[in-house]
Structure 1
């Protein structure tokens, strides 16, 4: 028996139309005695589900990998990649299985994937499972990033089980249902290039152009145009990460989306006490993916993709032309975003100096990234009591006071209007982000079978730019114990 409504939603995936060498067809491994942990009401509504349906056993079994006849053509994809700058060879969906496609209200076809659905031929001796801890973090952050307006895969639900898997310690397992227009990665192209399979490389590029970048078909060199589209999206994405203080802890080429989406939430973090060299992944001992490194790593990864696409583009010169676009594209997006975060309308060199001075003060005072910009959103053109909430975040109050004098001179030159500027600043400077300690509280409760905090946190983070005064404590500075939290690649 198929779950009511689900068989009408899932379609055979477009990805399954590729040659058989691109994937392995297989069924998910059922999650023992599954139960519902969480569902995103927002994602469910967009895909024409009601949250109540996820209480039904048919849905629980279908989205935990236990109901095979509800899945049109499940498969695991092969890809390769560079990990921490080193060629890692063949990788692939080691614990993710693509169930099929679904078409949401937006009309943009999405792949529906189970993460933690059991071993595949690409598991590399792993058990193919995900643990509850990391599943909660991915679920919450995927939906939080979407609400922030940052391109990302989505998370529909978490199904849990009391089945234990071994990590550093035994942990219970879970399955996250992930949604994305495509899960194709930079490493998908690298796989065929480094295996000297030019025919498959071309098939993949043509598939991506046909389904995701049809405008490239009209260009003189469609493959150069494709690389340019991917490079621009990547540059824009990382600028958006920087603007909210988000750090992706594993920016390997196998985790980079060809659509410019935030993909594969392993170790990640949002900046709290500002430190441009902050490393969110405890495993990243060299700081390759530190906050200040992410823009140049995005460029490095684009170089790796360009190398893989070189046989299609045809010449190093044409390929380099695209790569030369990335730095300016990133900086343009970054400057525009931070100009808006400061509430300034015009782009000029003085704005850059003002922003650099502000970051210097934040760095010296370890000011909280999110609270600093949100508090700045309340500042008026003239000194007022609202200055205090910002000044309280800085030890060097006099240094900040002097900066505010310069800032207000800029506002005066632009003839800034308080109410209009404050409103616009609050639409780009979030009040609520997924702080590690908030996720940890939700995880601890969930490990005791109390899933209420996941639901509450997801609801709050779904409106990150709204004041929500009844939830002010979720926007407060982290407690002292939060400084000891670490996240790593183990999940």
Structure 2
């Protein structure tokens, strides 16, 4: 049998200015590293066929499957606040779209599949390490319940790529609700091509916000919809200690998914100013800055949509500002509700926000592990001797706060075991610890050993379960294991 992708290609049916048609560059000797079998089934694909040499050749870009219409998408973007009028897919090629088992249209894209007209002198390839990182973290985010692009497969190319040194090459097959970004709108707005902006907005509404099509002001509603999704997304990032690392407008998805896992990381010790990305020298995209940057990015989207709002500039600006004004409240509502769940509060009372902020302040001062503090707090709901206090350099700081917390949770009617179960359902035991991800990458790159990768992916697929056989994966790094910087895949 032949591998079959039931492709539909709505984006490549848009005008030629939206993309460049380009085929993947064949690779020497593709070898499948990992196929996400459950995702393949969800997409209506045959995982057994994808695991054959023919499937590996398609997933590596050596063979273009029937029905594909390969394109590199055009977009612009603000990178660390500086506008670049043309970026585009420099090392990614969209093969096409499929309708999954739930009726949702999904892009299937090859990342690291060779140069495109947007490569800007780059080789268009990806090294093995960043491919494994994106596979691990994107699938972990999915398991955590956070909207995200997903990873269908990782394939070794049999070739090397040149970065600082020669590194083994790989291709990631990425699946997304779409790859349309704030920067996609900016690409056309910068060229004052209002008709293209309108065409793109109409496409986005049909694909992601179909309920808006018949409204009197669909473009206003589109901006409001993206604002709402982004506000909720960033709240969910903060609730698990995730730092994107490079929140440029070209990495801000219109669908509301997390996209482009470059120098991303999860915090170990809680620090609102935490930065891991080696290219974020000024801390623009630090953990606590992410809500502010998301609103900044959304403001850039609003600027693109102004001509669709009104011919009167002042009126259009006022309407956009009114819509953008909802971001802060939407984010705060989602974030505070999530924090209440993390500390086991079932009702909302005066003083809750201050109580939770006192915990966060104590965690920052005492270098408490973000993930384990909240997880162990769930255990402390049923056992006073649980070791949440062990996360603090000065355990007395936790004891003082815990006394007030116990008085507060006593005001709710739920039992201790109900509270623990509810807290464990939102406070993961396992996250992609940076030192674990790095160890997996080193084993693969240096020793061609993928057993650690397989095990880590397995553990992270059940982040809220205790998994007694894998408790070491919950441990924070020892001092000599700490990862201080993460790096962009290019």
After superposing the two structures, state which structure 1 stretch, 322-331 or 54-63, moved more: 54-63
Per the TM alignment, residue 420 of structure 1 is displaced from its structure 2 partner at its CA by 0.8
Aligned to 1:44: 40
Per the TM alignment, residue 214 of structure 1 is displaced from its structure 2 partner at its CA by 1.6
Verify: 1:481 aligned to 2:469, yes or no.
no
Verify: 1:348 aligned to 2:349, yes or no.
yes
Verify: 1:307 aligned to 2:308, yes or no.
no
Deviations 1:247-289 (A, max 9, x none): 0011000000001100011010001011110002011000000
Q: Distance in 1 between matches of 2:74 and 2:277?
A: 25
Aligned to 1:317: 318
Per the TM alignment, residue 486 of structure 1 is displaced from its structure 2 partner at its CA by 2.1
Q: Secondary structure at the match of 2:158?
A: strand
Deviations 1:31-70 (A, max 9, x none): 2211111122332232244544343110000010011243
Q: Which runs of 5+ in 1 are unaligned?
A: none
Per the TM alignment, residue 10 of structure 1 is displaced from its structure 2 partner at its CA by 3.3
Over aligned residue pairs, what C-alpha RMSD do you find?
1.3
Aligned to 1:329: 330
Kept in 2, the 8 Å contact 1:38–1:451? The answer is: no
Q: Secondary structure at the match of 1:174?
A: strand
Q: Do the aligned partners of residues 485 and 402 (structure 1) sit closer, same or farther apart at CA in structure 2, a change above 3 Å counting?
A: closer
Aligned to 1:79: 75
Aligned to 1:102: 98
Verify: 1:138 aligned to 2:137, yes or no.
no
Aligned to 1:385: 385
Q: Distance in 1 between matches of 2:53 and 2:384?
A: 57
Per the TM alignment, residue 471 of structure 1 is displaced from its structure 2 partner at its CA by 0.5
Q: Secondary structure at the match of 1:378?
A: helix
Aligned to 2:399: 401
Q: Secondary structure at the match of 1:413?
A: coil
Per the TM alignment, residue 133 of structure 1 is displaced from its structure 2 partner at its CA by 0.4
Deviations 1:213-250 (A, max 9, x none): 12212322110100000000000000000000000011
**1:158-177 to 2 correspondence within 5 Å?**
158-177=154-173
From 443, 446, 452, the equivalent of 1:445 is 443
**1:256-335 to 2 correspondence within 5 Å?**
256-314=252-310, 315-335=316-336
Kept in 1, the 8 Å contact 2:381–2:419? The answer is: no
> When the two structures are superposed, what TM-score results if normalisation uses the length of structure 1?
0.96
From 428, 431, 434, the equivalent of 1:430 is 428
Per the TM alignment, residue 380 of structure 1 is displaced from its structure 2 partner at its CA by 2.5
Give the 4+ runs in structure 1 shifted more than 4 A.
none
Aligned to 2:418: 420
Q: Distance in 1 between matches of 2:407 and 2:93?
A: 56
Aligned to 2:375: 374
Q: Distance in 1 between matches of 2:240 and 2:95?
A: 32
Q: Distance in 2 between matches of 1:479 and 1:39?
A: 32
Aligned to 2:313: none
Q: Secondary structure at the match of 2:379?
A: coil
Q: Secondary structure at the match of 1:272?
A: coil
Per the TM alignment, residue 71 of structure 1 is displaced from its structure 2 partner at its CA by 5.0
Per the TM alignment, residue 416 of structure 1 is displaced from its structure 2 partner at its CA by 3.3
Q: Secondary structure at the match of 2:414?
A: coil
Per the TM alignment, residue 451 of structure 1 is displaced from its structure 2 partner at its CA by 1.3
Q: Distance in 2 between matches of 1:238 and 1:58?
A: 39
Q: Secondary structure at the match of 1:283?
A: coil
Per the TM alignment, residue 385 of structure 1 is displaced from its structure 2 partner at its CA by 2.2
Kept in 2, the 8 Å contact 1:13–1:111? The answer is: no
Aligned to 1:228: 224
> When the two structures are superposed, what TM-score results if normalisation uses the length of structure 2?
0.96
Q: Secondary structure at the match of 2:151?
A: strand
Kept in 2, the 8 Å contact 1:167–1:490? The answer is: no
Kept in 2, the 8 Å contact 1:38–1:454? The answer is: no
Deviations 1:115-139 (A, max 9, x none): 0010000001100001100000001
Per the TM alignment, residue 479 of structure 1 is displaced from its structure 2 partner at its CA by 2.3
From 79, 92, 100, the equivalent of 2:88 is 92
Verify: 1:462 aligned to 2:461, yes or no.
yes
Verify: 1:242 aligned to 2:241, yes or no.
no
Q: Distance in 1 between matches of 2:354 and 2:225?
A: 31
Q: Secondary structure at the match of 2:410?
A: helix
Q: Distance in 2 between matches of 1:157 and 1:234?
A: 27
Q: Distance in 2 between matches of 1:108 and 1:12?
A: 12
Q: Which runs of 5+ in 2 are unaligned?
A: 311-315
After superposing the two structures, state which structure 1 stretch, 175-184 or 474-483, moved more: 474-483
Aligned to 2:8: 12
Aligned to 1:178: 174
